[in-house]
Amino acid sequence: MRGGALPPALLCAALGLCLASADGRAALLGLAALVVTASAVAIAPVPATRSDGVLLGCWASIIVNAAMVHSRRALNDKAALALSLNTGVWTGAVIALAPSNMDLLEALPLALCAWPAAWARRRGQSIVLKVLASWLIAVAVLAATLQFLPVTPGYLPDHTD
């Protein structure tokens, strides 16, 4: 199984963690841009033959968003908007390939983790966000690799056999 709501949900979560370092207005603007862009792209016709490229773009965007969480500098307004638009495009594109556009309603709320993340950051716990971002990077790298390896060697004798 590929696609569906899970990759865009992870992408939105990564954006949420990323927007935690932006100021409140920029974060709100970013979330609005995400919703509008994702909704617009989700209803656009995306050819099923592009699914590999779309998913790869989604994983790459998760890595970029999560990597931005590790940046020492706060996210400026332009960067917040650019990342939100990029996230919206890939979120919408993956949803456009999904069986139902309603999957968008499951993915987008994950971006709201920007609020608890901003709260954690204000409390000086930005390292917690970095740990979570690194987990998202690990998931994205693993999932992107699995995309190119449809048959995994899981039924061979393992290291305990």
Task: Give the residues lining the site for another protein (CB under 8 A).
Answer: 1-7, 9-10, 13, 98-100, 103, 106-107, 109-110, 113, 116-117, 120, 123-125, 127-132, 134-135, 137-139, 141-143, 145-147, 149-156, 158-160
Q: Residues 112, 57: contact at Cβ < 8 Å?
A: no
Residues 6+ apart with CB under 8 A from 41: 88, 89, 91, 92, 93, 95, 96
Tokens 């908007």: give the residue: 81
Q: Which is nearer to another protein, 81 or 132 (CB)?
A: 132
Cα separation of 161 and 157, whole Å?
A: 6
Using the minimum distance from each CB to another protein, give the nearer residue, 73 or 158.
Answer: 158
Q: What is the DSSP letter of 75?
A: P
Smallest distance, Å, CB 88 to another protein? 18
Shortest Å, Cβ 129 to another protein: 8
Query: Minimum Å distance from CB 21 to another protein?
Result: 15
* CA neighbours closer than 13 Å in the CB half-sphere of residue 124: 0
Q: Report how far apart, in Å, the C-alpha atoms of 123 and of each of 16, 57, 117, 129 are.
A: 17, 33, 10, 12
- Shorter beta-carbon distance to another protein: residue 81 or 136: 136
Rg (CA), the chain: 16
Query: Which residue lies nearer to another protein by CB, 4 or 36?
Result: 4
Smallest distance from another protein to CB 84, Å: 18
Cβ nearer to another protein, comparing 25 with 135:
135
Shortest Cβ 125–another protein spacing (Å): 6
